[in-house]
Amino acid sequence: MNSAEAPSPGGRAPTDWRSATMQRRVRQRYAAERRFRLAGLAAVVLSAGFLVFLLVTMVANGVRGFTQTELALTIDLPALGLRLDPARLNSAAADLVLVNAGLPEVTERAARNSFGPQGAALLSEGAWLKLRDALKARPELVSAPATIYVPAATDIDNAAKGAGSITAEAAVARLTAAGKLRTVFNLGFLTGADSTDPTLVGIWGALKGSLLTMLVTLALAFPVGVLAALYLEEYAPRNRWTDLIEVSINNLAAVPSIIFGLLGLAVFLGTFNLPRSAPLVGGLTLALMTMPVIVIAGRNAIKGVPPSIRDAAFGIGASPVQVVFHHVLPLALPGILTGTIIGMARALGETAPLLMIGMRAFIAAPPDRLTDPATVLPVQIFLWSDEVSRGFVEKTSAAIIVLLVFLLAMNGFAIYLRNRFETRW
């Protein structure tokens, strides 16, 4: 008998891999593996496709939000009946002089002289602000005619970007033929705050509010979360109370965010009477939501440090505190930062808890302190998306782009810190 076909010691004949049955089973296994690989590849391609679709849609709609249509407006202040002293425009009282000069009416008369009886309707409500800034920068304009560019009205701006009414498109064609129209980068969108006119809105107020809110969140959630993780993993006794705390932390990480908003409303506003719609209150509320995520990630990272590290540190005479803070914590820091990234990214995109504490107010000026009224980027996007004016559509998409860039920058910095402190063994 062939040794390859000899029965095994248990009396069972060896498998004949060259038989038709076994060859068919092998082919079925290979086919199943190929199907699994194709399914995984299809899932990756589908996910990437959705991501590309989202990014392309946001960029296509939002890139127009970073541009602005301007009209060339001829200004002749002496002919318009406005007399100003150039010397006073160079003094500290220049703002007060210009506020009392009636610049909105002067701008409207100049628009009617330049574009006809309906010329004032072609200009944005804030066109006179450009005239004010031009007079402060060039006081000689008070005595000589000049041409300055001012923001166009919302309908003209939309028509210049291909989304206006028939009447506005006709006006755009006429102004373009006359050389009175241009499209420039809208720097005011990055430096201004909220407004009722879509041609005047800016994102800096909401962006600064997000920065201040995230600073408060990180300053509270990170140290408290890390210390709680260290205590639970390194010092806490194993009893029913510790188990109850662990279960509570795991449950808090899964609680809907609006519950934390209700808690912030009841505690920080209702009990402690902290200022409403302030970055301080928003940061405190988001810190409550972020802390459980940091505690769970921190415990897993600390648990992942090899016991030999602790044994070696104790072997050379280190105290328990030195073992934790000199050896365990530095090695666990990359994992802790990963959990912090996840928690902060979730907090940055939250809207519901901040709406509960009143951070949906109309904020016309960026906040200067943690107690000043403010809003944040997600809430600002929500408010703009609910506006009726078509001009806010592109501003909403542009704000989403700013939010994504802010999120990528924050995550990139955190990943850099994680890689910087990462130790391989």
Higher pLDDT, 57 or 92: 57
Confidence bin at 290 (pLDDT 50/70/90):
very high
What pLDDT was estimated at residue 425? 54
199-219 residue pLDDT tens: 888 899 899 999 999 999 999
What pLDDT was estimated at residue 40? 94
Residue 52 in this model has a pLDDT that exceeds 80: yes
Confidence bin at 391 (pLDDT 50/70/90):
confident
What pLDDT was estimated at residue 292? 92
73-114 residue pLDDT tens: 888 877 777 777 677 777 666 777 777 777 888 888 888 888
Per-range mean pLDDT, top range of 38-42, 110-114, 124-128, 269-273: 38-42
Q: What is the mean pLDDT of the chain?
A: 84
284, 303, 304, 270: which is closest to 224 by C-alpha?
A: 284
Phi, psi of 148 (to 5 degrees): -125, 155
Per-range mean pLDDT, top range of 26-35, 69-78, 144-153, 357-366: 26-35
Confidence bin at 257 (pLDDT 50/70/90):
confident
What pLDDT was estimated at residue 11? 60
User: Using only C-alpha atoms, what is the Rg of the chain?
Assistant: 32
Burial of 49-59, coded b for 16+ CB within 10 Å and e otherwise, reads eeeeeeeeebe
Residue 423 in this model has a pLDDT that exceeds 70: no
In 79-196, where does DSSP find H-type helix? 86-89, 94-99, 103-115, 127-137, 154-160, 166-177, 188-191
339-348 residue pLDDT tens: 888 888 888 8
Confidence bin at 360 (pLDDT 50/70/90):
confident
Confidence bin at 305 (pLDDT 50/70/90):
confident
d(CA 308, CA 317): 14
DSSP letters along 332-385, please?
HHHHHHHHHHHHHHHHHT--HHHHHTTTTS---S---STTS----HHHHHHHHH
What pLDDT was estimated at residue 1? 43
- Find the range with the poorest average confidence among 9-13, 289-293, 406-410: 9-13
The pTM of the full predicted model, rounded to 2 decimals, is 0.81
Write out the two tokens for 403.
């939010």
d(CA 364, CA 373): 10
Question: Which residues are CB-contacts of 10 (< 8 A; sequence separation ≥ 6)?
Answer: none
Higher pLDDT, 67 or 417: 67
What pLDDT was estimated at residue 285? 92
Question: Which residues are CB-contacts of 103 (< 8 A; sequence separation ≥ 6)?
Answer: 128, 131, 132
What pLDDT was estimated at residue 287? 92
Give me the percent of the chain exceeding a pLDDT of 70: 94
Sign of the CA dihedral with 179 first, then 183, 189, and 193 last? positive
Inter-residue contact 394 to 372 (CB < 8 Å): no
Tell me the mean pLDDT in the region 236-256. Answer: 87
Confidence bin at 273 (pLDDT 50/70/90):
confident
